[in-house]
Structure formats: C-alpha cells, structure tokens
Amino acid sequence: MTSERRWFVTGAGSGLGAAIARAALEAGDLVTASVRGPAATAALPDSDRLRIVELDVTDEAGATAVVAEAGRIDVLVNAAGNGIFGAIEELGDAEVRGQFEVNVFGLLNVTRAALPAMRERCAGRIVNVGSAAGIAGEPGVGAYCAAKFAVAGITESLNRELAGFGIEAMVVEPSGFRTNFLSDADAVLADSPLDEYEGTPAGATRAWAAGGHGTQVGDPDRGAAVIYAAAVAEEMPEHLPLGADAVAALEGKLESLRRDLGPWRERSLATAFPE
C-alpha cells in the first residue's frame, strides 16, 4: 500500500461510510466521498484532503463517470446501502428489488468502474460493507439478508478472480451500530405487514426496527477504526465481523454448518458415479 493512500467511499454522507471517510482523513489519507445529495455532508469534516461528489450508485453511467474523475483509487469502500424489515411473505417485489438495486447492483456499478485502473496498476483494495445479516439468515429481515449474502459472495469471488492482479477484497459484516439506519422507521418497514406475524420472531424484529433508533450498541467511529486498520494491514482479512453480535453470528454459523455436515457427510460424498 502506498504511503499516500487515496480512498473512494460511497455512502459517505452518514453511518459507517462517513466514519470510514473520517478515519482515513485523520490518518492523513486523501478521500473522495460520494453522497446522495448536497444535504448529506454534515457528517464529513472540512478538509483540503476531502473531495465530495454526488452519486446515486444505482446509476451505472454516473458511477463510471464519477470514479473516472476521481483518478487513482487505492482503497474502494462500498458503504452505500439500505435495508427493509418484514417477513418474506410481507415483502412485495418492488421492496425486494430495492434491496438488490442499492446493496448489490449499486456496489457492482462502482466496483466495475474502478477495476480497470486497479488492474492496470496491479494494485488496489476493495472494502464491501456487508452485514452480520449476511452471515446467517434472521427472521424479519430476509430480503436484506439475501442482499448482504450476495455482497459476501461477490467479495469472495472478487478475491479469487483478482488475486493475479494484486487486488484484494474484504467484506465487513457489522452488527448493530448507532447510525441513522433506523432513523426513519417508515422507510425501513414493509408496506404491507400481516397480523399473523405479530408475536412471531419476524414480528419481533419488525417491532425492534420501528423503535430501535439510538439503541444500537456499536460505536461507528470505533468500528471505522477497525475497518481502517484491516483495510491497510499487510494481510487484509476476507471477512471482518464487526461487533459482538456479528462475532456470535459467525461462530454460530460455523457450528451450525458442522452439525449439518456431520450425519450427512458420507452420503454426500457417495453421490458420484461409481468408478
């Protein structure tokens, strides 16, 4: 990694995106921060090492243009994202597609725009902000889980596709951090809730989302400091669970996979054609 790192951070108007941009600036790096509009800049400091650009990541042509204008990118951070809470049955097609438009296709738009220059230099790191919901499926947040599982899969594939070009990718999987993610409850709840899910685990998740803003235990600045350290480390991890719930989710998933595999391992191995 060069001593004068140049970062490009999407979703930098709030939350972990803004915190990561601040961490990079505090370390003396240069940052291009993309935001959805001019009003989304309050969380960013006044710095001559910061350039703010407007970008809707779902606009492929816009992403290509903004990334090209940014010039060299040493660390690309895909932090733009959104979420919706509701049981799978409660979610309409447009709501599910909306999760993928921003969290998956938006990430792909920006990443594809940045890769040609990274490949030409044989250098670069990609940090995709996923979620603990991308480690293990949870009730009441299935569409968000699906999108963040996709982010994890894309990250793993990128690592294997780009290793020969000197480019690495990492997926950050945070649990609940105290951001504006839940500040507008109407924006994150399914439009057509079903009474049948009241009192179920999915209903409990939805109720938490409706009143959970400001109760999350994670500190975005502390989280960003860990993300920054991992992103510039000599060996960047492929997965970075962030927060106690994320660590528990990963450890629980590993144990669950072991339990599932145990009694079926030999039968699974025996499915090949006889030699």
Write out the catalytic residue numbers. 144
φ, ψ at 120 (rounded to 5°): -65, -35
Measure the CA–CA gap between 247 and 231, rounded to whole angstroms: 18
Counting DSSP H helices and E strands in the chain, the numbers are 10, 7
Cα 16 from chain centre: 10
In this structure, are residues 209 and 85 in contact, taking their beta carbons and an 8 Å threshold? yes
Query: In the 8-state DSSP scheme, what is residue 124?
Result: E
Measure the CA–CA gap between 186 and 122, rounded to whole angstroms: 44
Listed in sequence order, the residues at least 6 apart from 16 whose beta carbon sits closer than 8 Å to its beta carbon are: 79, 129, 172, 174, 177, 179, 220, 223, 224, 227
Measure the CA–CA gap between 158 and 154, rounded to whole angstroms: 6
